[in-house]
Amino acid sequence: MIKTVKVSSAEYADLLSSSSILEQDGHGVKVLYNVSGQIIKIFRRKRLLSGALFFPYAQRFAANAQRLHRLRIPTIEVIKLGRCNDPKRDLVWYQPLAGVSLREYCRTQGVKRIVDVLAQFIAELHHKGVLFRSVHWGNIIVTDESSVGLIDIADIRFYCRSLTLKQRQRNFRHMLRYSEDQKFFQDVADEFWSSYTAAAHLTAAQIESLQRFVADQQ
């Protein structure tokens, strides 16, 4: 278990001033990039009484990373956790997964070069019981070794069995919810399903049901 360090108000302010802001919203900064090349993800505690009080989102994020590593699924490497009481924030420092997003890769290299790897990877996630609900093509990374891995891993559920057909359907709906990603998929749908079928441990009828479901979503 990675220990959580206390972050004072002054330390938090210094962190903001010394890092580059990658993402923010109306509530403040959400993601930073520091001079050491690390990403700092910042979670705001939204309610006084919530599960996050006892199991902060930063700890969930770190636990997800550790479990993915145990399953041999490439992802980020958590370095440390922090908690600030003013403002009320939980933080996680991590080393990003080297590579580019699947979406950016497809824009520059084309989807055909990665479709088999992608299909086998999605089938592996499903077979290992990993339900990654933020599975859009911006959160899948094509690594420097031309494999694929996951980032932004806060929203994951792990099951001790393979995902059901309904769970796989919902996961494909998340995976293809953006029009650009849908277009990439449509260009290689036949190749994708061929590779997914070979790795998915499903019956022909189940594969056909998935294909119909995905086709109806587009």
63 and 103 together in one domain: no
Pull the structure tokens for residue 120. 């086998």
Q: Which CA distances in Å does 64 have to 59, 69, 76, 153, 192?
A: 8, 9, 10, 7, 27
CATH code of the domain containing 200 = 1.10.510.10
Q: Quick: pLDDT tens for 24-64.
A: 998 899 999 999 999 999 998 776 545 555 568 899 999 99
65 and 129 together in one domain: no
Pull the structure tokens for residue 74. 């490439």
Residue 148 pLDDT greater than 70, yes or no: yes
Q: How far apart are CA 83 and CA 42, in angstroms?
A: 10
pLDDT, averaged across the chain: 92
Residue range of the domain that includes 160: 99-217
Q: How far apart are CA 83 and CA 198, in angstroms?
A: 45
**Domain count of the fold of the chain:** 2
Q: How far apart are CA 174 and CA 145, in angstroms?
A: 26
Q: Quick: pLDDT tens for 173-216.
A: 999 999 999 999 999 999 999 999 999 999 999 999 999 999 98
Residue 169 pLDDT greater than 70, yes or no: yes
Question: In the predicted model, what is the mean pLDDT of residues 103-129?
Answer: 97
Pull the structure tokens for residue 90. 């939980």
- Which of 95, 113, 148 is where one domain is finished? 95
What confidence score (pLDDT) does residue 146 get?
A: 86
197 and 124 together in one domain: yes
Q: Is the dihedral of CA 101, 103, 108, 113 positive or negative?
A: positive
Percent of the chain predicted with pLDDT > 90:
85
What confidence score (pLDDT) does residue 47 get?
A: 60
Q: How far apart are CA 218 and CA 213, in angstroms?
A: 9
- Which of 41, 64, 95 is where one domain is finished? 95
Pull the structure tokens for residue 98. 């080297």
What confidence score (pLDDT) does residue 45 get?
A: 79
Model's pTM, two decimal places?
A: 0.88
Residue 138 pLDDT greater than 70, yes or no: yes
Residue 172 pLDDT greater than 80, yes or no: yes
Beta bridge partners of 39: 33, 94
Q: Quick: pLDDT tens for 70-96.
A: 999 999 999 999 999 999 999 999 999
Question: In the predicted model, what is the mean pLDDT of residues 146-156?
Answer: 93
